[in-house]
């Protein structure tokens, strides 16, 4: 951090906020999250740096956007402050302005650039009919061969092999909860991103996951960690 006396409007101090977005907050879109944080910053009373102009608001840059239906314990938001305040104080203030399901984990000075994000690790948990060891093995095997899927992009629908973006994938059956659990690291960032929902879709389409009853069958996705382009834990 800059020396206290040197932080000012002209020379604001960058701050990284690591937060979680879990439970009911998985249903809130990235756009709504941005709007929410504008108010969170105000009610926390952090001396955030504001953009000028007709509609001034705190300058915020988010890391990897999270899609609706996906939870995370590793979201990142960068802001700048115009007055000295300790990281602990910032964290404490944010805590009072947030809830258990959208909560601050850590506040620190950014070590890496948000544009250097290259991969993300997810846990996918399935409560699906017929979950067993055998099904888990089949699921793992599915991604060992190319899996062609349609991806909607700017230039229309194109066919891609999603396994090209899967860096690792492990799958097991948990007899205690009767669930299938996938631990996977996939490409994420500016160059290419694999939405983990694609993995869910592949399992639905090819192995019949979640196809019987919407009330008893469900899945959840948790973003566990983010890595930079060199595969180091993001800081």
Partner 1 sequence: MDEKYSSILKSVQKPGRYSGGEYGQTIKDLSDGRVKARFAFCFPDTYEIGMSNLGVRILYGALNREEDIWCERAYAPWADMEEKMIEHDMPLCALESGDPLSMFDIVGFTLQYEMCYTNVLQMLKLAKIPLKSADRTNDQPIIIGGGPCSYNPEPLADFFDCFSIGEGEDMLVEFTKLLIEEKAKGNFDRQEFLHYAATKIKGLYVPSLYEVTYKEDGTIGSFGPIYPDVPKRVTKRIMKDMDKAYFPDKVVMPYIETVQDRIMLEVYRGCIRGCRFCQAGMIYRPVREKTPEVLCRQAKCLYENTGYDEISLSSLSISDYTEIEKLTTKLLEWTDDKKVNLSLPSLRVDSFTKELMEKIASVRSSSLTFAPEAGTQRLRDVINKNVREEDLFRAVGVAFDAGKTTVKLYFMNGLPTETADDLLGIPKLASDVVHQFYINPNRPKGKSPQVTISVACFVPKPFTPFQWERQDTVEELTEKNEYIYQNVTDRKVRYTHHDPKTSHIECVLARGDRRLCRALEEAANRGFHFDAWDEYFDYDKWVEVFEATGIDPAFYANRQWGFDEILPWDVIDCGVSKEFFRRERDRAYGEITTPSCREKCSGCGANKLGGERTCCPQA
Among 1, 2, 28, 207, binds partner 1 (CB under 8 A): 28
Among 6, 9, 11, 39, binds partner 1 (CB under 8 A): 39
Binding mask 79-98 for partner 1 (x = CB under 8 A): ------------------xx
| Residues in contact with 184: Cβ distance below 8 Å, sequence separation at least 6, in sequence order | 121, 122, 124, 166, 167, 168, 169, 170, 196, 199
What is the C-alpha to C-alpha distance for residues 32 and 23, in angstroms, rounded to an integer?
16
Q: Report the residue number, 27 or 154, with the smaller CB distance to partner 1.
A: 27
DSSP label at residue 52? -
Binding mask 102-121 for partner 1 (x = CB under 8 A): x-------------------
**Six token digits for residue 159:** 């066919």
Q: Does 202 bind partner 1 (CB under 8 A)?
A: no
Q: Report the residue number, 107 or 117, with the smaller CB distance to partner 1.
A: 107
Cα dihedral 8, 6, 106, 190 sign? positive
Among 9, 30, 69, 133, binds partner 1 (CB under 8 A): 69
Q: Does 9 bind partner 1 (CB under 8 A)?
A: no
What is the C-alpha to C-alpha distance for residues 79 and 48, in angstroms, rounded to an integer?
7
Among 29, 86, 111, 168, binds partner 1 (CB under 8 A): 29
Q: Report the residue number, 219 or 234, with the smaller CB distance to partner 1.
A: 219
Among 42, 92, 148, 233, binds partner 1 (CB under 8 A): 42
Identify the bridge partners of residue 13 per DSSP, sorted by sequence position: 81
Half-sphere exposure of 118 (CA within 13 A, CB side): 10
Piece in contact with partner 1 (CB under 8 A), picked from 3-11, 20-28, 113-121, 183-191? 20-28
CA-based end-to-end distance of the chain: 15
Chain mean position to CA 127: 22
State phi, psi for 205 to the nearest 5 degrees.
-70, -40
Binding site for partner 1 (CB under 8 A): 23-25, 27-29, 32-33, 35-36, 38-45, 50, 54, 56-57, 68-69, 97-99, 101-102, 210, 214-220
């Amino acid at each position: 951090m800059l020396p206290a006396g040197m932080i000012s409007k002209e020379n604001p101090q960058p701050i990284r906020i690591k937060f979680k977005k879990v439970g009911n907050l998985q249903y809130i879109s990235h756009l709504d999250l941005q709007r929410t944080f504008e108010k969170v910053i105000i009610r926390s009373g952090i001396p955030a740096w504001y953009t000028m102009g007709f509609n001034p608001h705190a300058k915020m840059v988010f890391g990897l956007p999270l899609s609706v239906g996906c939870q995370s314990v590793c979201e990142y938001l960068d802001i700048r402050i115009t007055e000295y305040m300790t990281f602990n104080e910032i964290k404490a203030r944010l805590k009072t302005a947030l809830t258990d399901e959208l909560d601050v984990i850590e506040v620190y000075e950014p070590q890496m650039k948000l544009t250097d994000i290259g991969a993300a690790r997810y846990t996918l948990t399935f409560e699906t009919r017929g979950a067993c060891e055998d099904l888990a093995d089949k699921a793992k095997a599915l991604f060992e061969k190319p899996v062609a899927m349609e991806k909607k992009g700017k230039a229309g629908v194109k066919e891609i092999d999603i396994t090209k973006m899967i860096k690792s994938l492990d799958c097991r059956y948990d007899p205690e909860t009767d669930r299938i659990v996938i631990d996977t690291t996939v490409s994420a960032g500016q160059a290419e991103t694999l939405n983990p929902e694609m993995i869910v879709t592949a399992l639905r389409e090819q192995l019949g996951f979640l196809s019987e009853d919407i009330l008893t069958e469900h899945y959840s996705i948790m973003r566990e960690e983010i890595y930079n382009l060199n595969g180091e834990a993001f800081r």
